[in-house]
A = this chain, B = another copy of it.
């Protein structure tokens, strides 16, 4: 098993020393799924918010959030992100609908962007909740996980859920 790299010898958290690591191209994709009611889904689709699109706000908040990751997650290194984008789609589930949010983040650096992608997806999901909570406070952010990452010494990773 890998060791916990975020702790120093005193048992206190450190920002890991990455000065000896190689610069490589890195990408990470993270996904959040938000479960919503049929009523909310219909309200969004049938124009109760007119031209408005909660996904537009969610995407912008998520991109800003990706840039804030090292300010939000204490041990994250500041990283010069080189691209961030999102996809969104709705899927019918038994009791309502799932909104599937995927965030993709790229950088060229000495450490990966997994936390940036997870933070971006989470903030997009929270923002979607905020834009729609006047209609339904019961929404559940049902699942957030790292879908895939490439680059870096530990190599590529694909989550078993999507293999």
Binding site for B on A (CB under 8 A): 1-19, 25, 39, 43, 48-53, 55-57, 59-61, 63-68, 70-88, 106-110, 114-115, 118-119, 122-123, 125-127, 129-135, 137-146, 149, 157, 159-161
Contact of A132 with B4 in the complex, beta carbons under 8 Å: yes
Q: Do most interface residues of chain A lie in helix, strand or loop, or is the interface mixed? A: mixed
Q: How far is the CB of A113 from chain B (nearest CB, A)?
A: 11
- Docked complex Cα distance between A9 and B134 (Å): 16
Stoichiometry (number of copies): 6
Nearest residue in B to A50 (C-beta to C-beta)? B11
A7 surroundings in chain B (CB, below 8 A) = 49-50, 52
- Docked complex Cα distance between A108 and B22 (Å): 12
A134 surroundings in chain B (CB, below 8 A) = 2-6
Cβ 8 A contact of A130, one of B76, B80, B85: B76
- Docked complex Cα distance between A155 and B92 (Å): 31
Query: What are 29 pairs between A and B in contact, CB < 8 Å?
Result: A2-B135, A4-B132, A4-B134, A4-B135, A10-B51, A11-B52, A12-B55, A13-B59, A14-B59, A14-B63, A14-B86, A17-B106, A19-B83, A19-B106, A60-B61, A64-B64, A67-B78, A72-B72, A76-B130, A77-B81, A79-B80, A115-B130, A115-B133, A125-B144, A137-B146, A138-B159, A140-B145, A141-B145, A143-B143
